[in-house]
Structures are given as structure tokens and as C-alpha cells.
């Protein structure tokens, strides 16, 4: 039995990884020869690899410090009745109420300003000893984002 038949998702995963990371593509044995190797090296630009620690240190969320009380720009990606689900670029989305005035302006794809209270809501529910996460961030919707309001 062929490995592609036994693991159909493996070939799809390998194909997607090679599309995302062209430097990780391995040349086929028929196409790879000693003459073509130097030409291939000249075509690929050198990329500076960074460690995870340095990438984390340089991320905007780490440089921001304590997020409580900070204003961030997010994008509304889902609207259910009066609730706006806002992607603020963190682990969980921020769920805010749609304002009564100008509510038609708050639609999917619109950039908004959000005041962060907490990045992860967690509560102790009756009967549980451990806290459970609600899988959403707590924030206050400040309004629509415009270049002049930043």
C-alpha cells in the first residue's frame, strides 16, 4: 500500500508547507545535480534567521507592556445581533456591544478602537474549583478607527 493512500493528509500538509516556506523545498533527485546546485544557491536570497526569543521580544504585544488600559485597533470579523466580535491580534477576540447610535457603521471588516481591560476573561463557576476561561478578551469599544484618531 502506497504511503499516499495510507496518509492522505500527509501529502497535503507537505505540499502546503513547501508552498509557505520555499527555502524548505527539497530538490528532486532527478533534477538535482552538482552543476545545478551553485545556480540554485545564487537565486535564493539569504534570509536572516532569528530565534524565537528575539522574535517574541520584538513583537508589539511584548513591547506594549501591561495591556490593561491600552487602546488598540481591531477589526470586526463577526456580528451577531448586538455583539461585535473584534480581532485585536491576540489569543482571544474581544466581544463588545454594538453602540445604539450609528450602529449601521459597525459592520464586518471595519476597523475600530478598543480599550483593553483584560486579555483573557476567566471565572470560577459554581461547583468548580478551577477557573475556566471564557475564551474572549474584555474591552470597551471606543468607536470607529480613522487615521486622524490615532
CATH number, domain containing residue 127: 2.40.50.140
Please tell me what DSSP assigns to residue 1. Answer: -
In a domain, 19, yes or no: yes
- How far is it, in rounded angstroms, from Cα 149 to Cα 103? 19
> Beta strands 138-144 and 83-87: pairing type?
unpaired
The answer on 16 and 85 residing in a single domain is: no
Nine-digit cell string for 41? 544557491
The answer on 81 and 38 residing in a single domain is: no
The answer on 72 and 111 residing in a single domain is: yes
DSSP string, 111-144: EEEEEEEESS-EEPPTT-SS-EE-SSBEEEEEEE
What is the chain's pLDDT, residue by residue, as a tens digit (150 residues)?
554 555 555 556 555 555 444 444 444 444 444 444 455 455 555 566 788 888 888 887 777 778 788 899 999 999 998 999 999 888 888 999 999 888 889 999 999 999 999 888 777 677 777 777 778 888 999 999 987 655
Give the bridge partners for 78, in sequence order.
85
pLDDT tens-digit map of 56-100: 888 877 777 787 888 999 999 999 989 999 998 888 889 999 998
- Domain enclosing residue 133, as ranges: 67-149
DSSP string, 66-77: --TT-EEEEEEE
The number of folded domains in the chain is: 2
The answer on 77 and 133 residing in a single domain is: yes
- How far is it, in rounded angstroms, from Cα 59 to Cα 63? 6
Nine-digit cell string for 24? 524548505
The answer on 88 and 128 residing in a single domain is: yes
Amino acid at each position: 500500500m502506497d504511503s499516499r493512500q495510507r496518509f492522505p493528509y500527509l501529502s497535503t500538509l507537505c505540499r502546503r508547507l513547501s508552498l509557505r516556506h520555499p527555502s524548505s523545498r527539497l530538490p528532486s533527485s532527478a533534477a538535482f545535480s552538482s552543476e545545478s546546485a551553485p545556480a540554485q544557491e545564487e537565486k535564493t536570497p539569504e534570509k536572516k534567521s532569528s530565534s524565537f526569543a528575539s522574535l517574541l521580544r520584538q513583537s508589539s504585544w511584548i513591547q506594549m507592556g501591561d495591556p490593561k488600559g491600552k487602546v488598540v485597533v481591531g477589526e470586526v470579523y463577526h456580528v451577531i445581533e448586538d455583539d461585535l466580535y473584534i480581532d485585536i491580534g491576540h489569543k482571544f477576540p474581544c466581544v463588545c456591544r454594538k453602540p445604539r447610535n450609528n450602529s449601521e457603521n459597525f459592520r464586518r471588516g471595519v476597523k475600530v478602537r478598543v480599550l483593553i481591560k483584560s486579555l483573557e476573561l476567566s471565572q470560577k463557576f459554581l461547583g468548580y474549583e478551577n477557573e475556566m476561561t471564557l475564551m474572549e478578551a474584555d474591552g470597551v469599544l471606543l468607536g470607529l478607527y480613522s487615521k486622524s484618531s490615532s
